[in-house]
């Protein structure tokens, strides 16, 4: 389970190999799941203090990549450095501390249904600190103010719209001022107004709190508005990258298929499978 808290751990000195402009450095990442190669010597740098979008066809490994970054899933080979520290080389305690510096926003918001908005945001503070009640109250109200929902503090999750729920989850994810926020499909199911509010919020938080943001998303128009840089991943590698406003027009078969929504192209429609006739027991049978 990811921690929502973030504190001092990410401020530890980075190793000499870390580059100040890169918060997450991925080299030669190789992952094979159930015999399928998900990442094939993937190299990728996530710039510090920017909004980076990870895009790619369904099943290409975007969520898996987020799990590798937090050490929730181990790769078969390669290296991931977060703030200069090698994730694979971390002890359980170091990993736990590193995760404390990461806010994670799930697609479904994952609010605790029996707690009101205030208590949802207060939850990580109560779980991980011994702060006095007055300080908890002030921290929670400030985070709710940041997402525009201080007035909704006493509402229950079932009284919130989808967009509001996502903003509450965001307030909770930033309650300890993380250095890195990972958003897994933050735009799914939002109406245009809520979508614009969430986009504005991601941008504002990124700028005002100096957070590094990584988002996995399929919506190119939304990504164009919020991201500084896009990585398009397919077949286990980065197949295109760049400024979101220009990447869609680079003319490569990958971007044409992915951003143009073409059914046919480098991404096969069929998940890899054996011979159909054999699977149906028809091999050798008369036609």
Ligand X SMILES: Nc1ncnc2c1ncn2[C@@H]1O[C@H](COP(=O)(O)OP(=O)(O)OP(=O)(O)O)[C@@H](O)[C@H]1O
Positions touching ligand X (CB under 6 A) are 33-34, 36, 38, 56, 58-64
What secondary structure letter does DSSP report for 74? -
- DSSP code per residue over 150-209: GGGTT--GGGS-HHHHHHHHHHHHTTT--SEEEEESTTTT--HHHHHHHHHHHHHHHHHH
CB within 8 A of 93, min separation 6: which ones? none
The nearer residue to ligand X, 60 or 120, going by C-beta atoms, is: 60
CB of 125 to ligand X, least distance (A): 30
The nearer residue to ligand X, 55 or 202, going by C-beta atoms, is: 55
The nearer residue to ligand X, 33 or 135, going by C-beta atoms, is: 33
Cα distance from N-terminal residue to C-terminal residue, the chain:
53
3-state secondary structure of 118: helix
- C-beta separation of 244 from 234 below 8 A: no
CB of 73 to ligand X, least distance (A): 7
The nearer residue to ligand X, 83 or 213, going by C-beta atoms, is: 213
The nearer residue to ligand X, 59 or 260, going by C-beta atoms, is: 59
CB of 160 to ligand X, least distance (A): 24
- C-beta separation of 111 from 169 below 8 A: yes
CB of 62 to ligand X, least distance (A): 4
CB of 22 to ligand X, least distance (A): 22
């Amino acid at each position: 389970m990811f921690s929502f808290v973030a504190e001092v751990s990410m401020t530890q000195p980075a190793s000499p190999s870390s580059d100040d402009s890169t918060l997450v450095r991925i080299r030669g990442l190789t992952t094979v799941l159930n015999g399928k190669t998900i990442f094939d010597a993937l190299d990728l740098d996530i710039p510090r203090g920017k909004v980076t979008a990870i895009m790619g066809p369904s099943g290409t490994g975007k969520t898996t990549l987020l799990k590798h970054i937090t050490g929730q899933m181990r790769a078969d080979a390669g290296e991931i450095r977060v703030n200069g520290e090698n994730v694979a080389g971390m002890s359980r305690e170091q990993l736990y501390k590193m995760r404390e510096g990461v806010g994670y926003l799930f697609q479904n918001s994952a609010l605790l249904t029996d707690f009101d908005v205030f208590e949802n945001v207060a939850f990580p503070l109560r779980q991980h600190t011994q702060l006095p009640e007055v300080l908890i109250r002030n921290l929670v109200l400030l985070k709710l103010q940041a997402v525009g929902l201080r007035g909704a503090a006493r509402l229950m999750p079932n009284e919130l719209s989808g967009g509001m729920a996502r903003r509450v989850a965001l307030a909770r994810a930033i309650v300890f001022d993380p250095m890195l926020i990972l958003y897994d499909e933050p735009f799914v199911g939002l109406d245009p107004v809520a979508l614009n509010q969430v986009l504005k919020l991601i941008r504002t938080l990124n700028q005002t709190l100096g957070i590094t943001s990584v988002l996995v998303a399929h919506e190119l128009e939304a990504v164009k508005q919020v991201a500084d840089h896009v990585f398009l991943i397919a077949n286990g590698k980065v197949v295109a990258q760049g400024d979101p406003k220009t990447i869609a027009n680079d003319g490569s078969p990958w971007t044409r298929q992915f951003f143009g929504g073409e059914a046919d192209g480098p991404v096969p429609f069929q998940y890899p499978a054996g011979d159909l006739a054999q699977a149906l027991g028809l091999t050798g049978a008369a036609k």
